[in-house]
């Protein structure tokens, strides 16, 4: 079964850190670029980060550059998002997504994991 399973969300204080994980199954993970996308409560979608198949290329939204780090472990079929120096405005559902080959649409999404940043 082709799926992405997000985990690692929770409640954290401002300035704190959290590491999100996304475990994939049903396809060859190492063949696909991957991304993280978030959605604040009641708001729209915001693309955050992008990583190539071999991790030699990454890209970030300005809102998280320098605070968040995307990584992957192809042997473990896993994608990660290390989030440091969290802010209240980082409160959102975080989704991992597979990047379709050739057109960069997000063709497969995890179920999302909720991150709440609050004192």
Partner 1 sequence: DIQMTQSPSSVSASVGDRVTITCRASQVISTWLAWYQQKPGKAPKLLIYAASSLESGVPSRFSGGGSGTDFSLTISSLQPEDVATYYCQQANSFPYTFGQGTKLEIK
Footprint on this chain of partner 1 (rule: CB under 8 A): 35, 44-47, 50, 59-62, 95, 100, 103-112
Compute the least distance from the CB of residue 91 to partner 1, in Å: 17
Compute the least distance from the CB of residue 119 to partner 1, in Å: 27
- When the beta carbons of 39 and 77 are compared against partner 1, the nearer one is 39
- When the beta carbons of 16 and 67 are compared against partner 1, the nearer one is 67
- When the beta carbons of 13 and 89 are compared against partner 1, the nearer one is 89
- When the beta carbons of 62 and 75 are compared against partner 1, the nearer one is 62
CA-based torsion, 26, 83, 9, 87: positive or negative: negative
d(CA 111, CA 105): 17
Residue with tokens 């709440």: 116
Compute the least distance from the CB of residue 2 to partner 1, in Å: 12
Let me know: does 72 contact 49? Beta carbons within 8 Å. no
d(CA 104, CA 79): 17
CA-based torsion, 104, 106, 59, 89: positive or negative: positive
d(CA 84, CA 61): 15
Compute the least distance from the CB of residue 90 to partner 1, in Å: 16
């Amino acid at each position: 079964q082709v799926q992405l399973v997000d985990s690692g969300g929770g409640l954290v204080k401002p300035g704190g850190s959290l590491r999100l994980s996304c475990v994939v199954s049903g396809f060859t993970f190492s063949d696909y670029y991957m991304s993280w996308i978030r959605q604040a409560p009641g708001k729209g979608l915001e693309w955050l980060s992008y990583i190539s198949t071999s991790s030699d290329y990454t890209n970030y939204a300005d809102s998280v550059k320098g605070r968040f780090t995307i990584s992957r472990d192809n042997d473990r079929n896993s994608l990660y998002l290390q989030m440091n120096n969290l802010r209240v405005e980082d409160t959102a559902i975080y989704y991992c997504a597979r990047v379709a080959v050739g057109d960069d649409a997000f063709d497969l999404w995890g179920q999302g994991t909720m991150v709440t940043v609050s004192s």
